[in-house]
């Protein structure tokens, strides 16, 4: 008869997956046999302890976050190109995007840019301030599938929405980026 062993699994929630990402992890963790402890960390990790038979120790959790990640959400909705941002103040262009959203009675959810984006350099050069994980109170997500010269503002119908609620986006091209022609769809 096989012995039981306590196994600890640690799963990270990708940035941008939000509360839905945590819920997706918890659903899968609670399906595991003999769960004894679940710990949710503020830094985006979930640790779960459960007992398994020795031969099932290496069975991985297969949790798919693709539909919660920024690129997937953005590409499934219209993206309005607002052109190339000149070398003026970076915040001016971000405010311009937010004002357009207000005119359309939409709420800002997050900024999204490429994994190797020039966003920090642009903000530092034009504003004299370093960039953080939040700009103008909105989270800044990085996604390797987004062009490094793109800054995308994601929008939703309601306040306090998450990425899964995004229905439209605005895109500008960051100066000094790696491309001159936007490749997002417009609509």
pLDDT of amino acid 180: 35
Pair (97, 168) in one structural domain: yes
Here the CATH number for the domain that contains residue 149 is 3.30.2320
Cβ–Cβ under 8 Å, residues 156 and 166: yes
Pair (138, 85) in one structural domain: yes
Pair (101, 59) in one structural domain: no
Pair (13, 83) in one structural domain: no
For 124-145, what is the mean pLDDT? 83
Tell whether the model's pLDDT for residue 185 goes beyond 60.
no
DSSP 67-110: GGSHHHHHHTSEEEEEEE--SS-HHHHHHHHHHHHHHTT-EEEE
Number of structural domains found in the chain = 2
Q: What's the rounded Cα separation, in Å, for the pair 178 and 142?
A: 16
pLDDT of amino acid 187: 40
pLDDT of amino acid 168: 95
pLDDT in tens, 19-67: 778 888 898 888 888 889 999 988 888 999 988 887 666 667 778 777 6
Four-residue CA torsion sign, 82, 142, 156, 135: negative
Q: What's the rounded Cα separation, in Å, for the pair 96 and 77?
A: 20
Residue 107 lies in a domain: yes
Nearest alpha carbon to residue 187 among 81, 71, 72, 70: 81
Here the CATH number for the domain that contains residue 30 is 3.30.1370
Domain residues for the domain of 41 are: 4-68
Residue 111 lies in a domain: yes
Nearest alpha carbon to residue 13 among 49, 48, 41: 41
Residue 28 lies in a domain: yes
Q: Which of 68, 99, 118 is the last residue of a domain?
A: 68
- C-alpha pair distances (Å), 38 with each of 8, 30, 50, 139: 10, 9, 9, 27
Tell whether the model's pLDDT for residue 155 goes beyond 90.
yes
pTM for this entry: 0.68
For 158-166, what is the mean pLDDT? 87
pLDDT of amino acid 99: 94
* Band of residue 136 on the pLDDT scale cut at 50, 70, 90: confident
* Band of residue 170 on the pLDDT scale cut at 50, 70, 90: very high
pLDDT of amino acid 81: 92
CA atoms within 13 A on the CB side of 37: 8
Residue 165 burial by Cβ neighbours in a 10 Å radius (0-12, 13-18, 19+) = middle
Tell whether the model's pLDDT for residue 95 goes beyond 50.
yes
Please provide the distance, in angstroms rounded to a whole number, between the alpha carbons at the two ends of the chain: 62
pLDDT of amino acid 182: 37
Q: What's the rounded Cα separation, in Å, for the pair 112 and 74?
A: 9
């Amino acid at each position: 008869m096989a012995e039981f062993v306590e196994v600890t699994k640690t799963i990270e929630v990708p940035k941008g997956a939000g509360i839905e990402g945590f819920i997706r992890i918890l659903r899968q963790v609670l399906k595991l046999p003999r769960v004894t402890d679940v710990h949710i960390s503020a830094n985006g990790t979930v640790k779960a302890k459960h007992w398994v038979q020795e031969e099932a120790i290496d069975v991985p959790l297969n949790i798919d976050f693709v539909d919660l990640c920024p690129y997937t959400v953005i590409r499934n909705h219209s993206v309005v190109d607002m052109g190339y941002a000149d070398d003026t103040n970076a915040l001016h262009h971000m405010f311009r995007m937010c004002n357009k959203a207000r005119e359309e009675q939409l709420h800002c959810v997050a900024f999204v840019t490429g994994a190797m984006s020039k966003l920090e350099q642009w903000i530092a050069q034009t504003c004299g301030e370093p960039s953080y994980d939040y700009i103008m109170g909105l989270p800044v997500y990085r996604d390797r599938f987004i062009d490094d010269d793109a800054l995308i503002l994601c929008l939703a119908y309601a306040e306090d929405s998450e990425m899964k609620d995004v229905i439209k986006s605005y895109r500008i091209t960051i100066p000094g980026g790696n491309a001159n022609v936007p490749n997002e769809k417009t609509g």
